[in-house]
Amino acid sequence: MKYTGPFRAPVAVDELVRAVKDHLAAARFPQARASADEAFGEAPDSPEVRVVYAAVYLAHGSRLAGDARAKRRAEIEARGRPGEVFEDGDAVRAAFRDALAAFDRVLAAEPNHAKALALKAQLLFRIDRADRARALATYDLAVKALEATVPEGPAREAGRKNLLRDRRRIEGPCDWCDDTGFCTECNGSGSRFLLGFRRRCDACLGHGVCKRCGVL
């Protein structure tokens, strides 16, 4: 059977990579993702394509994770009360899922991407503290990836030290915040009221996180 559809000329890999980089340089992030998707679809085995694809989605995942945390803080401030059980709303859960999907895209291109694995581990713990084992296992993968991709020396040792420090923070339930992850002074909102005025919480420096386990 003969194909009679429109002819599509192949696009050079270097042109696709250049388009991604140009969009990133101009802060055109949606266009950068579109070009990265096209490049990965055309040449998924190209090392250069995999690098820029991973870079685009690492940045995208980081932004989405920040947005998810901001949405969570807004919900805490709007309906959270000290001593009450807090559960994320649908919008917050969707935002965290989108961030997780972005990090999974990075890992689809670069399975040994230590930073993506570390950020994914943090995100998994933020999404569900009850599934602590999955987050810890992902931290272990991040350590192995670091050791596999970074030559032995000060940079590898510093990265390994940081990963293991972050892993230790979540190894067991936090007694300080009853393992909620929220700052005990501001209940996770990042701010407090004093004499009728809102001010930044000094205990968590406005981040809303527990000062012991450090993850929200």
- Taking only the tens of pLDDT, the chain with its 216 residues reads 444 544 444 567 888 899 999 999 999 999 999 999 999 999 999 999 999 999 999 999 999 999 998 898 788 777 655 445 567 889 999 999 999 999 999 999 999 999 999 999 999 998 988 889 999 999 999 999 999 999 999 999 999 999 999 999 889 888 888 888 888 888 777 788 777 778 888 888 887 888 887 765
* Site of tokens 């990965």: 40
65, 35, 66: which is closest to 52 by C-alpha?
35
Q: Residue 132's pLDDT is what?
A: 92
Q: Residue 7's pLDDT is what?
A: 41
Q: Residue 2's pLDDT is what?
A: 47
Q: Residue 1's pLDDT is what?
A: 43
Q: Residue 81's pLDDT is what?
A: 55
pTM: 0.81
Q: Residue 110's pLDDT is what?
A: 96
Q: Residue 84's pLDDT is what?
A: 57
